[in-house]
Structure 1
């Protein structure tokens, strides 16, 4: 477990290392932490954490983003893959581009999802009326998301919810959140797409967005060995589920 600290030395967040070897690093990204630096980001990022705690060769080439092969949204927690060299970065990124990497997320959504499993196909692009959001628009980029129900929850005061396993087959920005909202089942605690009023009510019993990258499977870029990693729900999300009453 390594820590990310602000400039004045105050402890900000701890990042759990799931796996590490000479080629790559796999971490459990906490919710609330942005992955990449940018001119508009004014808070510590995973990229800062990497360069503060490690000395990977890939840091010498800015175009490789400190080895961050893919991204997770700020409020999403879970498995995040980092390459240590440019060669490993390119091999891993090629697996993502060829859709050879298997990714599963756990999401708690509003409503009673029907059917119990399915595929959402809807093209996505940036919202022309709000550049910070994405949406389903004609002429957007192809996007495909598979889902299946893990458990149904019913609470007399809070309503109906489903815990879903989500498998995005493409990797568009905000894809899971936009597709679930478009389908009529917004993610619990998602202030950007569920709506501020709904998210505010959610946060009374679920303090953060309920979206977690729980599974990642890929071929090791150096050895070719198949690697499968699981990352359980954070305790804060487990407690949120305990607030709800599971139903058959």
Structure 2
């Protein structure tokens, strides 16, 4: 029997971990399949186990894993313990610090490291390491110690971390007012037509896949948040292009979403379909070449290369640049050689 709370007191001891409202137009779909698109790193077995325990509710009523979701259903996942991301544990994790003073530090994050705890990633994150190495880091608006901004798990590169309340407020304000400078290096599918350009379009959660974001068009302006990405072609490599992207805003997955929106998905970006061969020939030899590139670079080809901001105490402009990681460098070199021999 599912563990259904039979008193108000027991119900109050349940903690909400996830909540979703099903969009209009959703076709009937088993809730275990539906939730796989909304909860990161959740397997179908885990979702089915949660339903068996009476932890999945639709409109406040516990349901089984074969329940078919309908438009406007409100789905909540509740457990008897607080969300693990709220339980921060200090861990002795090495951190690549490229600059540090009394107010802040700049970190060069490796690909594969999650910035803060979340579903499926409760340990081994940058924050777990930060609170081990530094005491009394200030919380941001989401109660995440030291974090001024973030980059995705499989994106490498530079992050600034605040060590004082003043630094947190000052740096967060710079990011909000778009006075900080951030430049990314990206390898994208396809030969871009223009040498440079600007992509604008509100970014928000994808209505049918919560693990993705999407661009909302002019007639849906009230959806999502404004996002602006400036890009410049650095090198054309046949079926892929190396670009520099400068962020004017900092939305989740911004470069990944904007590039897909203009038809140039990031190379090997699994979440957005870039792990498939999107451009090129049908030759077996070419397919093998691309597969080899995927093995060399088993993540999206995105690196936070440059970071600049005003120091919160001295007012001095600080600028940092990090080397392109070896996996991206090797992948680019393979494409250079391929383009050379096929042109």
TM over 0.5: yes
Tell me if the contact between 1:121 and 1:145 (Cα under 8 Å) persists in the aligned partners: yes
Q: CA 1:118–1:164 in structure 2 vs 1: closer, same or farther (change >3 Å)?
A: same
Tell me if the contact between 1:191 and 1:198 (Cα under 8 Å) persists in the aligned partners: no
Would you say 1:114 and 2:193 are equivalent positions?
A: yes
Tell me if the contact between 1:69 and 1:81 (Cα under 8 Å) persists in the aligned partners: yes
Q: Which digits, 9 at most, give the CA deviation of each residue in 1:187-235, with x for residues without a partner?
A: 1110001255349945234222210000011100010001111111011
- Between the aligned partners of 2:299 and 2:196, the Cα distance in structure 1 is 25
- What's 2:262 paired with? 183
Query: Following superposition of structure 1 onto structure 2, how do residues 65-214 of structure 1 map, counting pairs within 5 Å?
Result: 65-137=144-216, 138=220, 139-154=223-238, 160-198=239-277, 201=291, 203-214=294-305
Taking structure 1 as the reference length, what is the TM-score of the superposition?
0.86
Would you say 1:54 and 2:145 are equivalent positions?
A: no
Larger Rg belongs to: 2
Structure 1 stretch displaced more, 105-114 or 34-43: 34-43
Tell me if the contact between 1:64 and 1:89 (Cα under 8 Å) persists in the aligned partners: no
1 or 2 for the larger relative contact order (CA 8 Å, sep ≥6)?
1
- Structure with a larger share of its residues in strand: 1
318, 333, 341: which one aligns with 1:227: 318
Taking structure 2 as the reference length, what is the TM-score of the superposition?
0.63
Tell me if the contact between 2:94 and 2:129 (Cα under 8 Å) persists in the aligned partners: no
Q: CA 1:31–1:239 in structure 2 vs 1: closer, same or farther (change >3 Å)?
A: same
Structural RMSD (CA): 2.3
- What's 1:218 paired with? 309
Tell me if the contact between 1:127 and 1:134 (Cα under 8 Å) persists in the aligned partners: yes
> What's the CA shift for 1:15?
2.7
Tell me if the contact between 2:267 and 2:274 (Cα under 8 Å) persists in the aligned partners: no
- What's 1:34 paired with? 114
> What's the CA shift for 1:236?
1.6
- What's 2:97 paired with? 17
Indicate the SS of the match to 1:42: coil
> What's the CA shift for 1:63?
5.1
